[in-house]
Structures are given as C-alpha cells and as structure tokens.
Homo-oligomer: A and B are copies of this chain.
C-alpha cells in the first residue's frame, strides 16, 4: 500500500511515525476475547468470514443473516432449575393471597410448604398448573411489571447474584460479534416469550420482537374507562421446544437461520432445520462440562440425566454425524461470567 504524507506543519517525527504505521500490519483486536483458541472459535470466525465476504461463493445477503439462540443453558445458567420456574414458584404466595382457597389445594400446598424435595418431585401436570396460575390471568403490563420487580430483587442460591448476571460472557461476545457483521440475533426459547422479553434487550441486546418463545394467547378487552388492554390467557399458542422451535421460527421470522446455538435435546430440530439449508450454516451446542465454574451434567458425559437441559448421548452422536460443533465450556471458554476474576 502506497500513500503520500502531505502535512504542511507536520514534524519530521510525525511523518516517520506515519510511515512506520503504514508499512506494518495493524494487529487485529480479538472480538471474542473470552474464547480460548480452538476449533469452536475458529469455526465462528471462518463462518462469519465466508458469509459476509462479497467475493465468497457462500456470501449471505444481509437481509438473510439470521442467527437463533436457545436461552436456558445456552445464554445463561439453567441448572439446577430454570429461572422462570423459580419465578413461578416464588409467585405462588402472592397468587394464594388473592385466592386463599388454593392454600390447601395441590400443587400449591406443596409449594407453600417450602419442602424442596417434595417440590422437585412435582409432576409436569403440577408445573403446568403453577405456570397457568402465575403466568396468566393478568394484563400483559401487570405481568411485565411483576417479573421486572422480581428480577431486580431475587438472587440465585449459589452465586448470590441476580439471575440476569448469570449470562455467559463468551456468548454475549458472540451475539455482539454476529450483530457487528450484519446478523440479526434472535432468542428461540422453550421459556415464556413474555418473560424473556422483559429483560432480553437489557442483558442480551435482543429486542422483544426478536424473542420467540413458548407463547400463550392474549385476550383483548376494555377497562371501565374504555381503555383497551390485553390479558394473558391460559391457552397455549406455541410450545417452543423440540419441533416447536423450527415451527416457531417459521411463524415468527419466516426465514431459515444461517446459524443456530443450543445445548439440549430441545434444540435438536432447530439445529437440523438450520443445518439442512443451502450454503454455509453454523450449528453449535454448548456442553456443560465445567462443574467448577458452572455445572457438569448430562448422560453424554456419563453424568446423571437431569430434568433440565438434557445433553444425551444420542444428541452427541447426532452432532458428530451432522457436523454440529460442540462447545466445551471447560476448554473453549476463558471466562464464564462477567463477575469471574
């Protein structure tokens, strides 16, 4: 590269410095500083390079650059219990206060007892009853205000931190890096769409319209002053897990993603759907193999299966077969949380 310095009042030193800079390669800033060098980091850089280089045969036009992220276990901690489930359990006393007759009805009675072992043994049907009682029946504005307040006060038992601090720094860097390269980042979560939308913009930089989640219907009506409002109804519209993820992506986005990130069997179909598109597609799974800094779980590690985020041997085998890259939390991540030293 040649260039001419023409600064009328420039000193000789400044000119020499300028020439020195011009003939040296300027060191690039590492945009994923919390990732260790390795196959995962390399694959991310390579995917972005080929899909954003106009000269590449695998160039992806900006309007088609969609990247979808599972949330629980992919962007933040899901163990030992999904944050949203903790929220619903914490809301039970307030619900019972309004409807005292529930105090002696299961599963509310068990939740109120505070007996952790008994709560852990509740059935899926029991949890659906708790979800319906705590996530529906109020206006969308009231729901949002209640969830926001809880998130500002509740703390997880292990780190004594707000739940919104339990996000993975390497994934936050990845979100930013993809956005800086024209990718629109979406959350595609089995969690409640309205719940995740409360904090997604603040903690992930992902606006509400880019959150696809399990969604119940709403009902439009008017208050006593004729002002309209929407009430959350206990009618499931989209169960955004497993096959519900590609179905939800079609409903809410209408385009097949070029990149998808997950961590459990619930993300399998989203990764299959993404990978089966034409051209370059990046599909990755976060493996929780770091008991020290976070957690280690899942049969793929020979560890016990858990109720949340199951990374089974079958999922691991499919990842190998389909070319999905496995991110080892232990070896691929230099840092896990922002509060880590």
Contacts and interface: CB of A to CB of B under 8 A. Distances in A.
Given A220-B269, A237-B237, A269-B228, A209 B255 contact: yes
A201 B255 CA distance: 12
A128 interface: no
A112 interface: no
A208 B251 contact: no
Contact of A228 (B63, B255, B272): B272
B207 A220 contact: no
B254 A220 contact: no
Among A197, A217, A254, the one with the most B-chain Cβ atoms within 10 Å of its Cβ is A254
A219 interface: yes
Contact of A254 (B209, B246, B250, B273): B209
A273 B228 contact: yes
A251 B237 contact: yes
Among A201, A238, A251, the one with the most B-chain Cβ atoms within 10 Å of its Cβ is A251
Interface in A233-257: 237-238, 243, 246-247, 250-255
Contact of A253 (B209, B215, B218): B209
A230 interface: yes
Contacts of A250: 140, 218, 230
Nearest to A184: B209
Nearest to A64: B207
Contact of A246 (B230, B247, B272): B230
Interface residues of A, number: 33
Contact of A230 (B194, B238, B247): B247
A23 B255 CA distance: 51
A220 B208 contact: no
B247 A211 contact: no
Interface in A155-186: none
A207 B254 CA distance: 9
A227 interface: yes
A328 interface: no
Contacts of A217: 247, 251
Interface string A139-161: 01000000000000000000000
A326 to B, nearest CB: 21
Given A140-B250, A220-B247, 20 more contacts: A63-B201, A63-B207, A193-B254, A197-B254, A208-B253, A208-B255, A209-B253, A209-B254, A211-B254, A217-B247, A219-B247, A220-B243, A220-B269, A228-B246, A228-B269, A228-B272, A228-B273, A230-B246, A237-B237, A237-B238
